[in-house]
Structure 1
């Protein structure tokens, strides 16, 4: 059995749009929040900073923790291929440091990552985004810290 993995994620909102990474799998495009696994001896804020630099090519200011989500693979749509996964994700409100980001300095994008895109918040229901459970709180501008549970 694999150990539980911590992941630090960024929620970056500007002008009624949210910044997501664009990824591709056998079912087509899907969108996820920038961020990823916490390394040994790294705090969560440093993890989200490093991951944003790797995936976006941009530095971020890390603000408040606003959501915590668990993903227990055996309970969700990818159970057949991801049954041993158990991840706890910490979502931080972040902002880009640069006022004119270029997104050109990505060093280590995720394996499935094919781009970066600003998505209008009111159009989040029109795309395949993970985790889907964060869409409604974001659309409702609900930024109170909350545990979302084991959701996908």
Structure 2
């Protein structure tokens, strides 16, 4: 069994969100930047390190906004993810004052780039977790959205 914590960034600017662009046998898909927490590393440090590795941007970590369980055996990729249980912590982040990005230092295996995606088009792209979109848009409109989202994909 593979169990770990993961810290993710929700980086917003000009009604857009910064996502990693990835490719698999089904085509392009998008993820929030972030990844696995190292032993002895605070979640905020994980977000900062992972954003630099995957996007080339330095971020200031803000409030914890969502928590998601991902239990692979319950979802569409169970054929290769059935032994994965990951708890993901999503933080609202902003770019540091030095907005210039360098190239991603350590992109993920399927990653082919980084893209600013308009919030209005999130429902038309393959974004994981899909069910986070509604909660995010609700939160950004100032309405109450649950912090704990459960085992969603």
TM-score range, shorter chain: over 0.9
The TM-score normalised by the length of structure 1 is 0.94
Number of equivalenced pairs: 150
Return the alpha-carbon distance in structure 2 between the equivalents of residues 98 and 85 of structure 1.
Answer: 37
Q: CA deviation at 1:98?
A: 3.6
The TM-score normalised by the length of structure 2 is 0.93
Tell me what 1:149 maps to.
150
5 Å-filtered alignment, 1:64-143, equals: 64-98=63-97, 100-101=99-100, 103-140=101-138, 141=140, 142=143
Q: CA deviation at 1:133?
A: 1.2
| Structure 1: segments with no counterpart, 5+ residues | none
Q: CA RMSD in A?
A: 1.4
Which deviations, in whole Å up to 9, do the C-alpha atoms of 1:25-45 show, x marking residues without a partner?
Answer: 000000000000000010100
Q: CA deviation at 1:144?
A: 5.2
Asked whether the equivalents of residues 135 and 145 of structure 2 are also in contact (C-alpha less than 8 Å), the reply is no
Runs of 4+ in 1 over 6 A off after TM superposition: none
Return the alpha-carbon distance in structure 2 between the equivalents of residues 126 and 98 of structure 1.
Answer: 31
Tell me what 1:22 maps to.
21
Which deviations, in whole Å up to 9, do the C-alpha atoms of 1:56-104 show, x marking residues without a partner?
Answer: 1111000000000010000000111110000000000000114543x33
Asked whether the equivalents of residues 135 and 146 of structure 2 are also in contact (C-alpha less than 8 Å), the reply is no
Deviates further, 131-140 or 43-52: 131-140
